[in-house]
Amino acid sequence: MKKLIYTLGMLLFVATTTAQTVVDFIVNSPDHTQLASLIVAAELDDDLSGDGPFTVFAPTDAAFANVPEETLNALAADPTGELVHVLLYHVVSGEALASSLNDGDAIATLLGPDVNVSIMGMGMETSVMINNATVTGPDNVSPTNGVVHVINAVMLPPTVVDIAVNSGIHNTLVDAATAAGLVETLSGPGPFTIFAPTDDAFAALGEAAVAELLEDPTGALSNILLYHGLLGQVLAGDLSDGDTFATVLGPDVTITIDGDGNVFVNDAQIITTNILASNGVVHVIDAVITPPTVVDIAVNSEVHTTLVTAVTEAGLVNTLNGEGPFTVFAPTDDAFAALGEDAVAELLEDPTGALSDILTYHVVPGYALAGDLSDGDTFATVLGPDVTITIGGDGNVMVNDAQVIITDILASNGVVHVIDAVLTPTTVVDEAILFEGTSIFPNPTSDKLYVALTGVEQTSLTVMDTAGRILIEDQVTGSFALDVNDLVTGTYFLRLTKGNLSEVKQFIVK
H-assigned helices in 271-427:
294-299, 305-313, 317-320, 333-337, 341-348, 354-360
Residue 136 class from Cβ within 10 Å (0-12 exposed, 13-18 middle, 19+ buried)?
Answer: middle
- Which pLDDT belongs to residue 39? 94
The more confident residue out of 353 and 56 is 56
In this predicted structure, the answer to whether residue 301 has a pLDDT above a threshold of 70 is yes
- Which pLDDT belongs to residue 507? 80
In this predicted structure, the answer to whether residue 192 has a pLDDT above a threshold of 60 is yes
- Which pLDDT belongs to residue 333? 94
User: Percentage of residues in the chain with pLDDT exceeding 70?
Assistant: 92
Q: How many residues does the chain have?
A: 510
Assigned CATH class of 160-285: mainly beta
In this predicted structure, the answer to whether residue 16 has a pLDDT above a threshold of 80 is no
CB neighbour list of residue 462: distance below 8 Å, 6 or more residues apart: 384, 470, 472, 473, 494, 495, 497
In this predicted structure, the answer to whether residue 14 has a pLDDT above a threshold of 80 is no
Residue ranges covered by each domain of the chain? 15-151, 160-285, 294-419, 432-509
Per DSSP bridges, beta strands 439-441 and 470-477 are: unpaired
Q: Are 236 and 396 a contacting pair, CB within 8 Å?
A: no
In this predicted structure, the answer to whether residue 226 has a pLDDT above a threshold of 80 is yes
For the four alpha carbons of 310, 312, 315 and 320, in that order, the dihedral sign comes to positive
3-state helix vs strand vs coil in the chain, percent to 5: 30, 30, 40
Q: Are 83 and 41 a contacting pair, CB within 8 Å?
A: yes
In this predicted structure, the answer to whether residue 491 has a pLDDT above a threshold of 70 is yes
CA–CA distance, 158 with 279 (Å, rounded to integer): 8
CA–CA distance, 381 with 466 (Å, rounded to integer): 11
For residue 196, what is the enclosing H or E element? strand 192-197
Task: Dump pLDDT digits (tens) for 251-264.
Answer: 899 999 999 999 99
CA–CA distance, 177 with 185 (Å, rounded to integer): 10
- Which pLDDT belongs to residue 9? 36
Which of the four pLDDT bands, split at 50, 70 and 90, describes residue 13? very low
CATH of domain 294-419: 2.30.180.10
Quote the longest CA-to-CA distance of the chain.
130
- Which pLDDT belongs to residue 436? 56
Buried b (16+ CB within 10 A) or exposed e, 8-26: eeeeeeeeeeeebbbbbbb
CA angle (122, 97, 277) in 5-degree steps = 100
The more confident residue out of 82 and 292 is 292
Residue 110 is which amino acid? L
- Which pLDDT belongs to residue 10? 34
Average the pLDDT over 240-244 and give the result: 94
Residue 483 class from Cβ within 10 Å (0-12 exposed, 13-18 middle, 19+ buried)?
Answer: exposed
The more confident residue out of 423 and 13 is 423
For residue 496, what is the enclosing H or E element? strand 490-498
CA–CA distance, 97 with 107 (Å, rounded to integer): 13
Backbone angles phi, psi at 7, to 5 degrees: -65, -45
- Which pLDDT belongs to residue 71? 85
- Which pLDDT belongs to residue 6? 32
- Which pLDDT belongs to residue 454? 65
The more confident residue out of 239 and 434 is 239
Q: Which one-letter DSSP state was computed for residue 48? A: G
- Which pLDDT belongs to residue 124? 67
> pTM for the whole thing?
0.67
CATH of domain 432-509: 2.60.40.3080
The more confident residue out of 211 and 9 is 211
CA–CA distance, 357 with 430 (Å, rounded to integer): 14
- Which pLDDT belongs to residue 446? 82
- Which pLDDT belongs to residue 327? 94
- Which pLDDT belongs to residue 117? 93
In this predicted structure, the answer to whether residue 40 has a pLDDT above a threshold of 80 is yes
Task: Dump pLDDT digits (tens) for 403-460.
Answer: 999 998 888 888 999 999 999 875 433 343 445 557 777 877 888 888 877 666 678 8
- Which pLDDT belongs to residue 508? 78
In this predicted structure, the answer to whether residue 57 has a pLDDT above a threshold of 70 is yes
Which of the four pLDDT bands, split at 50, 70 and 90, describes residue 74? confident
Q: Are 466 and 499 a contacting pair, CB within 8 Å?
A: no
Task: Dump pLDDT digits (tens) for 305-361.
Answer: 999 999 999 999 999 998 888 999 999 999 999 888 888 888 898 888 889 989 999
Q: Using DSSP, state whether 147 is helix, strand or coil.
A: strand
List 137's β-bridge partners, or say none. 150
User: Percentage of residues in the chain with pLDDT exceeding 90?
Assistant: 47
- Which pLDDT belongs to residue 434? 46
Same fold, 15-151 and 160-285: yes
CATH of domain 15-151: 2.30.180.10
CA 107 to chain centre: 30
Q: Is the peptide bond before 53 cis (omega within 30 degrees of 0)?
A: yes
Mean pLDDT of the chain: 86
